[in-house]
Every structure is written in C-alpha cells, then in structure tokens.
Structure 1
C-alpha cells in the first residue's frame, strides 16, 4: 500500500543500520550516530529520513507486525503543517521529541510547511511471545536481503539486485500501460496477487513450524 510512490513525492533516506548490516558510507559520514546505534540491540534498522517541502508519503502499513516504528525529530518545521497521521490521528514532529507507533496501522505523512523535515527513523524490536520471536527471526533474515546502498560502492542486498535487474521489464510495462491499459492491469494484478499468495504461504509455513516447536517444548 503506497510503498512504490515514496520517492515520487520527494521522500529520501540515508541508511545507518539495517538488520545486522551497516554501510561503510554510514560509518564514514555518521560515525557517532552509528556507534550509538550499535549499543542498542533492540534497534534493528535505522536511517535519517528527509521529507521536503510539499513532500508526502502515501498511506501504507506493514502487515507483518515484526517491529515498532520510532521517530526522533532532528531538524523539523516544528509546525502542525508537517505531520504523520496514524490510524486517523495526526502527530506533528518537533525537534528533540520522539514518537513511537505501531506500523501495522495505516499511516501517511505530509509536509505542507515551508521547511524540510529531518528525523531519525528506527525499526525497534517488538515485544513478542515465543511464536512471534520465531517468525521474527526469519523476518530479519529476509530484511537483510533488502539492503539498499546509500552511495556507489555500498553493499546491495539480493532483493535490491533482483529488482534492479527487473527494471527494464518495469519500463516495458509502463510503456504497455500507455498502449494497452487492460492488458497492463491484468499483468499488474496477476503479479501482485502472486506475491501476496507467496507471502501468505511463507507466513503460514512459519506459523506451522512455530506451533509444532511450541507444542514440542510444552510436551
């Protein structure tokens, strides 16, 4: 929901830590911040996030519920015109003020002020029972595959390499949209449905394995 439009409306980020990996660029350019984050094991991912003037993040959510989202205002407009809306409730960023929210609820952000917004954004470990921690173990492994470079020379995760390789296909689909929209929509929804079913199959498999392990431990 909305992930593909993030960069379209000006949002940008600089990765500091991502599920067990830290870019060389982050170590070089932000050594103090990286050092602090490495001392907080409950922070799985962290980045600096910029939302420019008139920028926005469209409505989206994380259905897997594997983390909580933490925001710390660093250089913000300190205005209600720059806000995030979580499940219908709006919160405005303020310098030095923190916000922790559940990212499984639909949320979106807008900057209608005259100043850019800079925050520290973190994925924080969510308190879970045994089954949740079991699923989260595999989730973290998957997230390591999504490492995105900050600059040329930084490491790229397998998923990033894969989607970069599919870029020409995506361009052809965009061209198809202009000439045959019905066929484009058919292909688009078929791909999306396949990915959703695959994700549910993986989650169902992990739940089954987790339940089996839990029953084994109890018995």
Structure 2
C-alpha cells in the first residue's frame, strides 16, 4: 500500500512537471510568434515608407516634367523673328500677286475674243476662280504658320511648312501660265481657221 502511494505521488509529480514543461514550451512558442509578428509589422512599415516615398518622388517628378513639357509646348506657340523674316514668306505673297495679275489679264483677253463661245468663257471663269481660291488658302496657311499662338511647331517645322506653301504657290503659277498658253494657242488656231475660211470665201466670191 505504501509502495502504491509512492508511485501515485511520483506519477502526479511527473504529470505536473510534464504540464509545466508543456506550458513553458507553449509560452516559448508564443513569444517566438510575437517576435515574428513584430518583425512582420516592422517590415510592412518599412515597405510602406519606401512605397510612399517612391510615390511622392514619382509624383513630384511627373509634375515637374509636366511643367517643363507645358513650358516647351507654350514655347512652340511663339514664332521666332528668323521664321517671320524667312525670304520665302515674301516670295509667297509675290507669287500670289503674280497669279492674280496674270489670270485677270488673260481672262480679260479671252473674254473679249469673239472666237470663244459663252460656255467656254464660263469654264475659264470657273478655272480662274478655283485657282484664285486655292492661292488664297495658301496665304491663310502662311498667316497661320507665322502668327503667334496659332500652331505648336518648332522653327524647323515652320520653315518646312513655309517651303511647302511656296512650292504649292509656284505650282499654281506654273499651271496658270500653261493653261493661259494652251487657251491662247486655241484662240490663235481658231483665228487662223477663220482667216482661212474668209480667204476661201473671197476667192470663191461666196461672201
């Protein structure tokens, strides 16, 4: 009986010691988990600070770039004196005046030539009117290119555009002169044919 009692006391002591050991082990685990959780929170805080700092930096940079970009764009609205004094600007205006002068003179001659029928005169009028309108469009384009706050273009782009307008105006003057020449040739041919008919009529005394 005494032996059994001793065994029971020893068993209880063992259970108690075992329970304490488990509690200590659990406590150690809890402490370790707490430390890990604290480290996780620390890492998250650092990550947030990095992200926020990066976002702020990017935001500031982007705003700075936008301001620079806007300044650059505003600068493109200004026309430099070099562009405004470009020789072809005056040449374009001179070409347009030449077009007007030559088409008016030619149309006046053709209109007073009885060898051209009314419908032909009307056709000539439409051709000249269309040509004049397109030459005015070139002048409008030129005015837009050399005027501040109209277009966002660099000086090189403006000069290239002026060159294109100059070429377009040249082409129209070349067309006008060729058209006038062809029409004049037609008038000469008709005049010659009429003269030939008149001569034949006189020879045969049928007039």
TM-score normalized with structure 2 length: 0.29
Structure index of larger Rg: 2
Higher relative contact order (Cα pairs below 8 Å, separated by 6+ residues): 2
Larger helix proportion, structure 1 or 2? 2
